[in-house]
Amino acid sequence: MDLGDIVYQKDHGVAKITINRPEVYNAFRARTVDEMTWAFRDAWDDNRIGVVVLTGAGDKAFCAGGDQKQRSGEGYDKSGGLGGGIGLEVETLHGVIRDIPKPVIAAVNGYAIGGGNVLQVLCDLSIASERAKFGQSGPKVGSYDAGFGTAYLSRIVGEKKAREIWYLCDQYTAEEAKEMGLVNKVVPHEQLQEEVDRWCRKILEKSPTALKMLKYSFNADSATIAGISQIAMGSLAMFYHTEEALEGRNAFVEKRPPDFSKFRK
Ligand code: S0N
């Protein structure tokens, strides 16, 4: 595949996927999602690879979610395909992160916001730079990811905290994220890569079959969430056509606060 939105590297058993759109804080568009999915499948298929690392280019952001500048009343920028209504095949991407029979580590180097936070939530393990910031912003920009983004998040941080994260759209520091169980470890920014390498080496020493079966068993317990995701993405496709959803998207692009007051009915 011709890669433009990500950098994909393989080295000593580790596949590293770097979202490479730093000018938009590594927000993803349809092409970015397709390239990430392709890379995860390649790593899945390559017997030399035992662990996958997902990170973002630059030192500002891991990923700021869906690219709002590529979003319209028709959804994101891909028509047709498995993305169906919303124009982004995020469900497919979420599926490969969960299903690849190898541990996936998120190296959270900066903002993990919206769909970007959902990506790090879905990774098996997350190591964060002390500069990282976490949060959901869907209700601010007229959007939501109400499958793994809500139900699975609740399993990780608890129902009350998950509701707070989505309803308030606040941002949380790396230390706060660690406290609520959203990430495994926080390290000084310059030590992020070194720490991730250390965790990769430890994983690579372990039995791949044992790791695979453990991952499948963890997944089995939350497998029904995929159904919630399908319903949520289906409804999101319809929601994106509304004035209310567009108010959120337009406010972000126009750099003004959204006014949702007239939609409270
Ligand atoms: C990350 C934030 C907090 C950083 O703020 P800061 O430091 O003030 O920088 P900015 O000036 O705002 O940003 C720097 C440049 O990057 C651009 N940019 C940032 N994020 C995006 C983005 N998501 N799309 C497009 N461009 C982005 C800025 O525009 C700016 O560029 P210039 O200077 O040229 O204008 C802050 O940037 C922020 O809040 N970003 C938006 C985050 C966001 O709302 N993401 C989408 C969130 N959506 C959801 O939570 C809902 C649903 C969901 O998860 C989902 C489900 C399915 C499919 C897609 C999504 C999805 O994520 O949308």
Prediction pTM value: 0.96
β-pairing, 133-135 vs 111-113, is: parallel
Q: What is the CATH number of the domain that holds 168?
A: 3.90.226.10
Domain annotation covers residue 156:
yes
| The residue type at 49 | I
Specify if 242 maps to a domain: no
Q: Is residue 50 part of a domain?
A: yes
Q: Output the CA 68–ligand 1 centroid distance in Å.
A: 7
Beta-bridge partners for 8: 17
Mutate which of 25, 118, 136 for ligand 1? The one with the most ligand atoms within 8 Å of its CB, which is 25
pLDDT of amino acid 52? 98
Window from 43-47, 67-71, 134-138, 203-207 with minimum mean pLDDT: 67-71
What's the mean pLDDT when you consider all of the chain?
95
- Looking at the CA of residue 135, tell me the nearest atom of ligand 1: 50
Residue 238 lies in a domain: no
The parent domain of residue 19 ranges over: 6-189+207-220
Q: How many angstroms does the Cα of residue 142 sit away from the middle of ligand 1?
A: 12
Whether the per-residue pLDDT at 179 is higher than 60: the answer is: yes
pLDDT 10s digits, 37-84: 999 999 999 999 999 999 999 999 999 999 989 887 777 776 656 655
* Ligand 1 atom with least separation from CA of 116: 62
Q: Looking at the 3D structure of the chain, how many domains does it have?
A: 1
The answer, yes or no, to whether residue 144 has pLDDT greater than 70, is: yes
Å from CA of 140 to ligand 1 middle: 11
197, part of any domain:
no
Backbone angles phi, psi at 146, to 5 degrees: -95, 35
In a domain, 110, yes or no: yes
Residue 170 lies in a domain: yes
Task: Establish if 260 belongs to a structural domain.
Answer: no
Distance 249 CA to ligand 1 centre (A): 10
Residue 31 has pLDDT above 80, yes or no: yes
Answer for the pair 88, 36: CB distance below 8 angstroms, yes or no.
no
Taking the CA atoms of the chain, what radius of gyration do you get in angstroms? Answer: 18
Picking from 95, 49, 91, the residue whose alpha carbon sits closest to that of residue 66 is 91
